[in-house]
């Protein structure tokens, strides 16, 4: 019993980035071994298919049986998230850099920590209509971009770059162009004081 | 697909959810910090994962590694179209930085109980729908 407790205590602590990198590579290897390519955003297509959009759009016209593996994987991901905030709950918020903390306080008027270090919940909560609009619009950009580009961070940045695919490299450069434009040029107008 | 295989995918998913949480890669703050170049954390995670991925896949190829079903490891490379990759990537990046989560973390954060991500998922599905509707007008 004490051994189990020790293991749980170790797992509760935040992981070093190098361990996290090794573990994400392990996910890539496990899914490759199981005969599938690691990617998450194709699930948005599966959801559209489940809503019956396959009758209207050729893009959603496929046999959902081929995506059962992804549904099983994503149900696991949901449960993994739940386990992380229950059994493996860690009260210590992410140790982000002081520069970022200062910037959030000065430019946005946000306190850190909040949302267990995962999310600025003072703004991103379901009681704030502005946050709901941001969530819908941000989500739409992610969904549209991922499907237009045929992959997201897992499919292009992890899987694609590991296979040294040129299209993936260009797509990842795009991720950063978009991310930098949003962070440096647009966000000050959305969250700025 | 056999039930046993689906269980393997389910367990791999649990592991992925825990890894993404414990590594803080699903943190809005970590993504913001990354795009502000104020920490090495996210670059370290992605860098190690890709470096290890490249080496292992190369070794597997040399050794003639096969999947559980005895197939060769598939390397599907999409047709090269720089305009499409850059445009799609940039649109994705705008959303990624704003909500601080890419598709994997959307599911992890939902599992953690952050209800606002229900709206993010609705948005993502809507974005996919819009893509299907205007697909023929976009450069591919």
Q: What is the pLDDT of residues B49-74, one digit of tens each?
A: 999 999 999 999 999 999 999 898 88
Give residue limits of the domains in chain B.
2-39+77-137
Predicted pLDDT at A12: 83
Query: Is 0.80 topped by the overall pTM?
Result: yes
Contacts of A80 in chain B (CB under 8 A): 13-21, 108, 111
Answer for the pair A118, B112: CB distance below 8 angstroms, yes or no.
yes
For residue B122, give the chain A residue with the closest CA.
Answer: A136
Q: Dihedral sign, CA of A74, A115, B37, A135?
A: positive
B89 to A174: CB separation less than 8 angstroms, yes or no: yes
CB contact under 8 A, B99 and A178: no
Banded model confidence at residue A61, pLDDT cuts 50, 70, 90: very high
Nearest to A147 among B10, B79, B128 (CB): B128
Question: With contact defined as beta carbons under 8 Å apart, do A60 and A52 qualify?
Answer: no
Write out chain A residues lying below 8 Å of B126, CB-based: 136, 139-140, 143
B72 SS3 class = strand
Question: Considering chain A, what percentage of its residues have pLDDT values greater than 90?
Answer: 89
User: What is the rounded CA–CA span in Å between residue A180 and residue B34?
Assistant: 10
pLDDT at A100 over 60: yes
Contact B116 A141 (CB under 8 A): no
Q: Among candidates A187, A27, A176, A38, which has minimal Cα distance to A120?
A: A187
Nearest to B21 among A33, A81, A96 (CB): A81
Decide if B48 touches A, using CB distance below 8 A.
yes
Q: Are B94 and A178 in contact (CB under 8 A)?
A: yes
- Asked if the model's pLDDT at residue A59 lies above 60, the reply is yes
ipTM reported for the complex surpasses 0.90: yes
- Residue among A50, A138, A56 at smallest CA distance from B124: A138
A114-133 pLDDT tens trace: 999 999 999 999 999 999 99
Chain B interface includes A114 (CB < 8 A) = no
* Contact call for A29 and B47, based on CB within 8 A: no
Does residue A1 carry a pLDDT above 60?
no
């Amino acid at each position: 019993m004490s051994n189990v407790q020790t293991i749980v205590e170790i797992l509760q602590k935040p992981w070093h980035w190098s361990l996290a990198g090794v573990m994400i590579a392990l996910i890539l290897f496990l899914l490759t071994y199981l005969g599938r390519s690691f990617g998450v955003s194709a699930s948005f297509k599966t959801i559209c298919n489940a809503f019956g959009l396959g009758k209207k759009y050729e893009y959603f016209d496929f046999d959902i049986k081929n995506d059962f593996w992804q549904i099983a994987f994503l149900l696991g991901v949901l449960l993994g998230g739940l386990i992380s905030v229950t059994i493996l709950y860690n009260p210590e918020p992410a140790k982000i850099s002081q520069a970022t903390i200062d910037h959030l306080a000065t430019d946005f008027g946000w306190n850190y920590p909040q949302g267990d270090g995962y999310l600025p919940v003072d703004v991103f909560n379901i009681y704030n209509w502005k946050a709901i609009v941001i969530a819908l619009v941000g989500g739409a950009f992610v969904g549209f971009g991922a499907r237009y580009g045929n992959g997201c961070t897992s499919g292009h940045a992890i899987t694609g770059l590991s296979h040294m695919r040129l299209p993936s490299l260009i797509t990842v450069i795009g991720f950063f162009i978009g991310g930098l434009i949003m962070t440096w040029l647009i966000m000050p107008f959305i969250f700025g004081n | 697909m056999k039930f046993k295989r689906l269980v393997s995918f389910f367990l791999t998913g649990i592991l992925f959810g825990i890894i993404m949480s414990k590594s803080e890669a699903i943190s809005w703050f970590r993504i913001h910090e990354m795009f502000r170049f104020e920490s090495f954390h996210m670059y370290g995670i992605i860098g190690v994962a890709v470096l290890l991925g490249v080496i292992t896949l190369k070794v597997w190829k040399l050794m003639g590694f096969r999947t559980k079903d005895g197939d060769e490891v598939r390397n599907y490379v999409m047709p090269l179209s720089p305009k499409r990759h850059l445009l799609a990537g940039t649109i994705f990046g705008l959303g990624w930085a704003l909500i601080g989560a890419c598709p994997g973390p959307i599911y992890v954060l939902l599992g953690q109980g952050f209800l606002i991500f229900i709206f993010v998922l609705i948005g993502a599905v809507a974005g996919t729908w819009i893509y299907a509707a205007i697909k023929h007008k976009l450069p591919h």
